[in-house]
Amino acid sequence: MSARQVRNVAIPVVLLVALAFVPRLSIDIPYVLGGSTDTPGTLQLLALMLVFAGVALTYDLLFGYTGLLSFGHALYFALGVYLTAIAMTKWHWSFAASLLLTAVVGLVLPLLLGSVSLRVGGIAFAMVTLAFAQAGQILVQQNPHKLTGGEEGLGVDYHQLPEGLVGVFNTKHLYWIALGYAAAVFAIVRWAVESSPGRVWQAIRENELRVEVIGLRPFVFKLMAFVLSSFLATAGGVVYLLLIGGATPEVTTANFTLTLLVMVVIGGTGTRWGALIGGALYTLLDHRLGSLAGSDAVDSLPSVLKTPLQEPLFVLGVLFILVVFFVPGGIARIDRLGRRPRTLQRLEEALHTTQEPA
């Protein structure tokens, strides 16, 4: 093994082990975390950061690696959240049966919707995925047969869950599940991207026409990436459900997908570490900015500054725009400040070639 191969295995493994020990340690980073890492509140925040690190990476698999700009990723995440919750709470299915059902639907649904939406490319694809996700949001809002709980959301029936996943005392178990999820997504995405279909995905991003000329059908490969990414997002939805203990309609909205896009771009499009960092950082800021806005330093500001600062989305949106302008490569490529990464250039061309008749 070359030094590079050793490093590619060693760094993730060391990081994984270190993160696995976090619930056993008592670390408090002032301002950044709300309390010591062995307290349930902080552990839950850390677990959320891990879940969104993973989900952001599933989005990057589509956007950064295959060049597909989807605005409907929320649908598949919400599927994991809602279907599992409904099966356990409304139909009184066992935990295992609910997971199985979610897994099956989590494969079939993206296969169906993906084969329709991938008939168009570029911006049209983005809008079609958005429309499908909108249908999901409408369904959840309409609350058919009182299944989804509408605006109120839906709590999980704790009796169906394994004992080790219930209660504040067991937050560390949920943390480990979230860590396992992020690690699994990382490993699967790396394996998939380096497999031969994965190379075709990147070739599609680079030049779809050339892939076609070679004699491969880009549609099939794009569908593979779409299904894999959606399925992993559904799995992330299940972990999120366990962590939060219920389903809320926010996860079905177009804004939810946009936050995934924001995470990936802030972290670095088309880089595995970037998406992970972006997802974790965004979640941290989203949760901590609110409490920081209540601090004395912000409180003493005039209301013109104070009012917007109290909205985490305002601060994150501004941060996002600044990143797009000045660090287009994201945090992962911060050493190349202001230079546009090749991935974005290729994405640009990918969007264009699929827009106009070839």
Partner 1 sequence: MDTFVLLSITGLGLGAMYFLVASGLSLIYGLMGVLNFAHGAFLTVGAYATWYTESKLGGVGNVGVRFVLAALVGLAVGAIVGAVVEIALIRPLYQRHIEQVLVTVGLALVTTALVQAIWGNDARTVAVPSWVGDTTHVLGASIPNDRWIEIAAALLVLFGLEAFLRRTRYGLIIRAGVENRAMVTALGIDVRKAFTLVFAIGGVAAALAGVLSGVYFGTVDPSRGTSLLIFAFIVVVIGGLGSIRGSALAAVVVGLTQQYVNYYGSVHLSALGGLGDLSVVLLLGLVLLARPGGLSGKLA
Which residues of the shown chain bind partner 1 in the complex (CB under 8 A)? 69, 116-117, 119-121, 123-124, 126-128, 130-132, 134-135, 138-139, 141-144, 254-255, 258, 261-262, 265, 307-308, 310-314, 316-318, 320-321, 324-325, 328, 340, 344, 347-348, 351-352, 354-358
| Residue with smaller CB distance to partner 1, 23 or 218 | 218
CA-closest candidate to residue 84, choices 107, 57, 106: 106
| Residue with smaller CB distance to partner 1, 54 or 136 | 136
| Residue with smaller CB distance to partner 1, 99 or 261 | 261
Beta carbon of residue 14, minimum distance to partner 1 (angstroms, whole number): 34
| Residue with smaller CB distance to partner 1, 94 or 355 | 355
Beta carbon of residue 356, minimum distance to partner 1 (angstroms, whole number): 6
Hey, what amino acid is at 141?
A: Q
DSSP 338: T
Beta carbon of residue 23, minimum distance to partner 1 (angstroms, whole number): 33
**How many other β-carbons are positioned within 10 Å of the β-carbon of residue 351?**
17
**How many other β-carbons are positioned within 10 Å of the β-carbon of residue 175?**
25
Beta carbon of residue 179, minimum distance to partner 1 (angstroms, whole number): 29
Q: Is 356 exposed, middle or buried (0-12, 13-18, 19+ CB in 10 A)?
A: exposed
| Residue with smaller CB distance to partner 1, 155 or 308 | 308
The C-alpha atoms of residue 85 and residue 102 are separated, in whole angstroms, by 10
| Residue with smaller CB distance to partner 1, 36 or 310 | 310
Beta carbon of residue 343, minimum distance to partner 1 (angstroms, whole number): 10
The C-alpha atoms of residue 19 and residue 37 are separated, in whole angstroms, by 11
The C-alpha atoms of residue 69 and residue 265 are separated, in whole angstroms, by 12
Beta carbon of residue 198, minimum distance to partner 1 (angstroms, whole number): 22
At residue 282, the 3 state secondary structure works out as helix
User: From residue 51, how far is each of 57, 129, 314, 338 by CA, in Å?
Assistant: 10, 23, 23, 30
